[in-house]
Structure 1
Amino acid sequence: LRTPLLLLGLWVVLAPTQCSQGRPSWRYISSEVVIPTKELHHSKAVRAAGWLSYSLRFGGQRHVLHMRRKRLFWPGQLVMMTQDDQGALQVDYPFVPLDCYYLGYLEDVPLSMVTVDTCYGGLEGILKVDDLAYEIKPLKDSQRFEHIISQIVADTNAIGPMSSLGHKAERYPLFSDQNPSAASRVSSKIYASHIGAMKGCLMSAHSIYTLYNNVSQCAQYLVHLGSMIDAMFRSLNMRYYIGLLIIYNVREPTDMNNYKVPGGPFANDYARNIHKHYLPYPGIIVKRDGPHEVNFKPELYTLCGNRNLIFLGQLSRHYLLLSIIASNQIGTTFGLWLDTVECVCQRRATCIMYRYPVLTDSFSNCSFQHTAHVLNNNIQLCLFQERGQLVYSNSSLTTIRCGNSVVENEEQCDCGTFKQCYSNTCCESDCRFSPGSICNRETCCTNCTQAPAGTLCRPIQNICDLPEYCMGKDTNCPSDFYLQDGTPCTEDGYCYEGNCTDRSMHCKEIFGEGALSAPDVCYSINKKGHRFGHCKVTIGFAPQRCADADVMCGRLQCVNVTHLPRLQEHVGFHHSIIGESLCFGVGAHRGTESTDVGAVRSGTPCGGGKFCLKGFCNATLAAIDYNCPPSKCNYRGVCNNNRNCHCHVGWDPPLCINSGAGGSVDSGPAPRRRRSVRAGGMSLVYLRVVFGRSLALIAALLFGVAMNDQAIRPASVPGGPGPSS
């Protein structure tokens, strides 16, 4: 039971967060102490792997939270920078947890949202139940896993009015002059695109740092803000990753009261020293005393450029409110404009792109429509570049640590978490080899030591590939080798960079047995310049149509397809009637990290003594320079891409003259087929006993047969009748 004294203590804890000059624009209207109970099963039936579930009672009823871990930081690296004594930026290494952020929902509450982290011994974050917003955080020094859950309310003008987008030419650059509400309506349930990824830069002005006077706590504040932004953009099928954290902990880098972008002092500093080197999209600087959003207006369609800086005024507001403002302004830089009265979002009274969004977490159906127009016009292409493509010059020690399953710096091995290390006999939890071990998970590591020579470590992948074997001297498999370019693989194809260039074989790999290469007329689709017909794509996927000379080097076209294969997720196919042929092909997509199997492979002949190279028919067959006649390897092997002999089993490299195991000097020796068996002393005794008893049994059987034959042989009777005359 809660006592008045406990409530008074809660008010003392919560009061500092709502103090502001004048009347606060937000407040807690209720607070409860709850003890979340971990549920063993996801939902009411089947347990799902990777999910956490907690049961707790608040708002007058019991709720079950279902959450799944999410990746919040840009894949591969997180750079964090602070200032040195002179105010210059430097890479810093405070502790920033990486793998304790969760996104989920409340059971039986449609379109509810749970965004919490478990980084500091409890649940901390935001719960959205329709238009109600709750904050949950651990009760300090509690011994019973107690938490405080408080309902947040905000005035209508706590956010906004959001700055309008200006005159009509600025507002509707991609649309006709008709009323946008009269355009086709897009459902607000699911936006069917491929995931776009923003690499965000979150910056704390010195005025924000003074609220904490602690770099780690200030970083935690920025991470909470970024986690909420990520949760909101998921409804648009986009992800917000934190790639760069900057904390101005000594002084402001320049005049922070000029909010002009571009041209302002801080905007120029950001473009010159931050965006140029780290390429974030977008950059957000949080200031304590402004600007209010009515005084700052980001530019449309600037998300992928160096003018994507957003000034965010804290003004004593909760980070939930700031995340809504940030999402609205990021949406503007992406190309979304403010919602009109016709725009709606499911189970929410207001939407993120409203002029007064208040406490919401949802984009409207109008925002979905605007997103589709932006993506179809290939404007924000940076959202679809490969994650990890941009490499920082400095990497942060927040990702270089023992226990992340990646061997880094001075580590000998890395077995992962304590639970994973418990079952690993080769590697200790301190990232050192266990006594007597020299390897852990390397491809040529067996029982914590080097695998014997001849152990297969990389099998053949296709007709043009070669196997690799362990050398017996190293724990890593040799490099990947394949047949020399120009080696025949079928009657119509040859090997090139490890693949067979036979178009019909390529069609069979995709559509199954019976599929054949299409006639030339089908390849005219490559002049269209869409995802099913093109020769190349630009960064972010903008298909480029093929020139007449290159149509045979775009997307592969097949005929005689009798059934459709199981393709990778998000990969589609087309079937088109062109001329008298029913042509089939596989499309390419932006934003997917799947392998593109539908492009004509480099090395494929395209006519006139030329072959395809990266989508163009401009490479000559003479450049392949195939020089491996059968006599080079004495008719007992083939040549690899190093132009060395890979001998058949039974012949030794390098020239396959002498008998041996096979293989090559590059890919290791093949295993010897003859095997010896060592027998122990007891085994020999048992073998002798069995052999001796078997011989005795056989002798007894033969003796018995002989005696039986003698017993039944007929005998002659003396004095019997003689022969007749």
Structure 2
Amino acid sequence: MRLALLWALGLLGAGSPLPSWPLPNIVSACNVEAPQVALRSSRQSQRRPRGSPWSPRSFRTISQLASKRCFRELVPGRPTLVWYQPDGTRVVSEGHTLENCCYQGRVRGYAGSWVSVCTCSGLRGLVVLTPERSYTLEQGPGDLQGPPIISRIQDLHLPGHTCALSWRESVHTQTPPEHPLGQRHIRRRRDVVTETKTVELVIVADHSEAQKYQDFQHLLNRTLEVALLLDTFFQPLNVRVALVGLEAWTQRDLVEISPNPAVTLENFLHWRRAHLLPRLPHDSAQLVTGTSFSGPTVGMAIQNSICSPDFSGGVNMDHSTSILGVASSIAHELGHSLGLDHDLPGNSCPCPGPAPAKTCIMEASTDFLPGLNFSNCSRRALEKALLDGMGSCLFERLPSLPTMAAFCGNMFVEPGEQCDCGFLDDCIDPCCDSSTCQLRPGAQCASDGPCCQNCQLRPSGWQCRPTRGDCDLPEFCPGDSSQCPPDVSLGDGEPCAGGQAVCMHGRCASYAQQCQSLWGPGAQPAAPLCLQTANTRGNAFGSCGRNPSGSYVSCTPRDAICGQLQCQTGRTQPLLGSIQDLLWETIDVNGTELNCSWVHLDLGSDVAQPLLTLPGTACGPGLVSSLGGQDQV
């Protein structure tokens, strides 16, 4: 399939983007040849009053979209839609057929280019040709039928904002550029890093967000546009984002929506666990609110929380009419759930490939420009998190989604297909015929999975995914599929690390391992009395976390070991953040002096939580950490 784009864009040095001439409609059916789309700027509309500080330049580019995919076929199944009647009755539409109005692809003749556009309600999306020639297409406010507004991304000014990690943030997993992955990870790299992961995503629109649109269809259209961008953002990380549900609180909010994002996040996660997850299985839920959060914060999530029934979610302020703004914000918060920390300052975390925005997605503050790419730091952080055992749910093959007619070319293998490597220009699999989605003669399997080598199935019992820690189990090829079976781990509460911790969500949380993640090899837990003294004081040097108002919470003596992470030895500088202050104190223990030292780590002004022990950390005989407290096991 081909979608030709004929452009004549006016490039502005500053100021508002210019309108363009009307566009022919793109046909909705994806199985026919799409007509040309002409984007032409009026030279008259570019004229500015004499004395303007800039003069426009116009150019004409004729490009061809080498391949496109409809959004309907990008989703391996039909998402569930939920809304509410005036009497509060919940209406559920399962297996909803999406309108064929969103497209992905790339521009022929531009290596590394990509296109993500929707015609559901006017023409919106992104066209990235090169870092210097990349554009956003938007409709004017309230004008869905008029011509789109075409802007260079460099000229797109959105409200500056920051992200604040939740007050229940867990231990970070990012490996800085100068600290490469350990050799123990190398042999497992291909199995979890190159294997495609899928995030089953539910987007929830609160009442203020739903009220911004005249009907549910307009809200659905915007959600589809956002979801398409999310999938585009994550694909370079070998992560697909599949929209499995949209819930709109059309009559009233089902939780308290507070200007304090920490309060809103806590309320939303409680509701997700109790009400959403039982009726709509998913990996992550993201709340989008039209309410303004206090301060510059536009989003909040919990670090390393993906696959957790309690904490895999985030809250996001719809802070811009541009879909790019909210899509970049959701990608940022979902990135935190996947173990990605904020990018380091300076030039140590460059954005790979086309990066027309001046920041990457995991930048703590966007400075008006939304990120479009994940940095090299984010890539390494995701690798390390996966290799450390995070994300077992991402390796499932989406068994719960309602099926729909197969579409050859969407890179999802559906009923009737033996393989799907994308369209002809996308396919690099020598085993798969991209035109039929059937195996080529002589091929037993497609090379999209670790259980296929040179188009032949690996024997049954060949280990396709080694263990990723004490709590993970190996997986073996079944002998009749190229795919490795879903990831399997020990159940929550099973002992690990020689009895020093228990398994929780497939990960072993030993105190020593957490110290080494922060302070490097050789780091060990602090002396018990030093640890208890610090965490029972409830300040920047030691606590059981912060409450939503930002105040430090003192640990009880019983909970102190499961509070803020307290370590000794290791590196002089932490792998995360920087040392803000040091405190030394000598404690008398039955006539013996014990020298204690504590650190106040500066994690950035937008990170609201000190580093707490991971859930499952052993805190005493029969006790394990439960986010600032203890549970019996």
- TM-score normalised over the length of structure 2: 0.51
Contact 1:74–1:199 (Cα < 8 Å) also in 2: no
Separation (CA, whole Å) in 2 of partners of 1:374 and 1:252: 34
Task: Tell me which residue corresponds to 1:226.
Answer: 227
SS at match of 1:60: strand
Residue 335 (structure 1) aligns with: 339
Structure 2 vs 1, CA of residues 163 and 381 (structure 1 numbering), >3 Å: closer, same or farther?
A: same
Once the two structures are TM-superposed, the CA of residue 381 in structure 1 deviates from its matched residue by: 1.2
Structure 1 residue 247, shift from structure 2 partner: 1.0
1:344 corresponds to? 350
For this pair of structures, how many residues does the alignment match?
A: 384
Deviates more, 1:252-261 or 1:371-380: 252-261
Aligned partners of 2:168 and 2:302 also within 8 Å: no
SS of corresponding position for 1:33: coil
Q: Deviations over 1:393-427 (max 9, x none)?
A: xx7xxx88xxx589xxxxxxxxxxxxxxxxxxxxx
2:106 aligned counterpart, secondary structure: strand
Q: Does 1:31 align with 2:13?
A: no
- 2:326 is the counterpart of 1:322: yes
State the SS of the aligned residue for 1:297. strand
The 1:69–1:53 alpha-carbon spacing in structure 2 relative to 1, beyond 3 Å, is: farther
How many angstroms apart in 2 are the aligned matches of 1:319 and 1:226? 10
* Match of residue 126 from structure 1: 126
Q: Which amino acid in structure 1 is aligned with residue 180 of structure 2?
A: A
2: CA distance, partners of 1:215 / 1:511: 47
Q: Deviations over 1:411-444 (max 9, x none)?
A: xxxxxxxxxxxxxxxxxxxxxxxxxxxxxxxxxx
Q: Deviations over 1:229-266 (max 9, x none)?
A: 11111121211111111111111123111644798333
Among candidates 298, 303, 306, match of residue 301 of structure 2: 298
Cα deviations by residue, 1:671-718 (Å, 9 ceiling, x for unpaired): xxxxxxxxxxxxxxxxxxxxxxxxxxxxxxxxxxxxxxxxxxxxxxxx
1:360 Cα deviation after fit: 2.9
Name the residue aligned to 2:546.
Answer: none
1:251 and 2:255 equivalent? no
- Distance of 1:156 and 1:149 partners within structure 2: 13
**SS of match in other structure, 1:286:** strand
In 1, Cα distance between equivalents of 2:456 and 2:97: 45
Residue 201 of structure 1 aligns to a residue whose secondary structure is strand
8 A contact 2:172–2:304 mirrored in 1: no
Aligned to 1:377: 388
1:79 maps to what in 2? 80
Cα shift readout 1:2-57 (whole Å, capped 9, x = no counterpart): xxxxxxxxxxxxxxxxxxxxxxxx98422222656999xxxxxxxx9988865645
1:114-165 residue CA offsets vs partner (Å, 9 max, x unmatched):
1112446x644222342643215598667xxx65534456677734333368
Give 1:280 deviation, angstroms.
2.0
Larger Rg computed on CA atoms: 1
In 2, the alpha carbon distance for the partners of 1:333 and 1:281 equals 10
When residues 97 and 275 of structure 1 are mapped into structure 2, their CA distance, relative to the original with a 3 A threshold, is: same
SS in 2 for 1:284: strand
Question: 1:302 deviation in Å?
Answer: 1.0
The letter for the 1-side match of 2:397 is: E
Shift of 1:320: 0.8
What 5-or-longer segments of structure 2 have no aligned partner?
1-13, 42-57, 186-191, 408-452, 488-633
* % identity of equivalent residues: 16
Alpha carbons of structure 1 residues 111 and 104: separation in structure 2 relative to 1, 3 Å: same
Asked if the contact 1:52/1:68 (under 8 Å) is kept, the reply is no
The separation in 1 between residues aligned to 2:234 and 2:157, in whole angstroms, is 22
**Greater strand share, structure number:** 2
Higher relative contact order (CA 8 A, sep 6+): 2
Amino acid of the structure 1 residue aligned with 2:63: V
What one-letter code is carried by the residue in structure 2 that aligns with 1:62? Answer: T
Tell me the distance in 2 between the aligned counterparts of 1:151 and 1:237.
Answer: 28
Which structure 2 residues correspond to residues 83-94 of structure 1 after superposition, within 5 A? Answer: 83-92=84-93
Pick the aligned partner of 1:308 from 304, 312, 315: 312
Partner of 1:440: none
Q: Deviations over 1:468-525 (max 9, x none)?
A: xxxxxxxxxxxxxxxxxxxxxxxxxxxxxxxxxxxxxxx9x9699xxxx9xxxxx9xx
CA RMSD after TM alignment: 4.7
Q: 1:356 to 1:111 in 2, by over 3 A?
A: farther
Query: Residues 285 and 312 of structure 2 are in contact (CA less than 8 Å); yes or no, is this contact kept in structure 1?
Result: yes
Shift of 1:99: 3.5
| Shift in alpha-carbon separation, 1:300–1:154, aligned structure 2, 3 A | farther
Query: Residue type matched to 1:344 in 2?
Result: P
Name the aligned partner's letter for residue 334 of structure 1: L
Q: What do residues 634-656 of structure 1 show as CA deviations (whole Å, max 9, x unaligned)? A: xxxxxxxxxxxxxxxxxxxxxxx
Deviations along 1:171-215, whole A, 9 cap, x unmatched?
34x75xxx54342699xxxx9612211111111111122222311
Matched-pair contact (CA < 8 Å) for 2:286–2:313: yes
Matched, 1:276 2:273: no
1:69 is displaced (CA, Å) by 0.9
CA distance in 2, matches of 1:164, 1:231: 24
| TM-score for the superposition, normalised by structure 1 | 0.45
Code of the residue aligned with 2:106 in structure 1: it is Y
Corresponding residue of 1:412: none
Tell me by how many angstroms 1:298 deviates.
Answer: 1.1
Extract unaligned runs of 5+ from structure 1.
1-25, 40-47, 407-506, 518-522, 546-553, 558-566, 572-587, 593-725
1:137 and 1:93, CA in 2 relative to 1: closer, same or farther beyond 3 A?
farther
Q: Judging changes above 3 Å, is the alpha-carbon distance between structure 1 residues 94 and 170 closer, same or farther for their aligned structure 2 residues?
A: closer
2:349 partner amino acid: C
| Distance 1:303-1:284 versus aligned 2 partners, 3 A rule | same
* SS at structure 2 position matched to 1:218: helix
SS of the residue 1:97 aligns to: coil
Rate the CA distance shift 1:216–1:71 in 2: closer, same or farther, 3 A.
Answer: closer
Partner secondary structure for residue 181 of structure 1: coil
CA distance in structure 2 between the aligned counterparts of 1:215 and 1:361, rounded to whole angstroms:
28
Mapped contact 2:207–2:250 kept (Cα < 8 A): yes
The aligned amino acid for 1:64 is S
Cα distance per residue 1:590-635 (max 9 Å; x no partner): 689xxxxxxxxxxxxxxxxxxxxxxxxxxxxxxxxxxxxxxxxxxx
Do the aligned partners of 1:115 and 1:125 also contact (CA within 8 Å) in 2? yes
Q: Is the 8 A contact 2:80 2:245 kept in 1?
A: yes
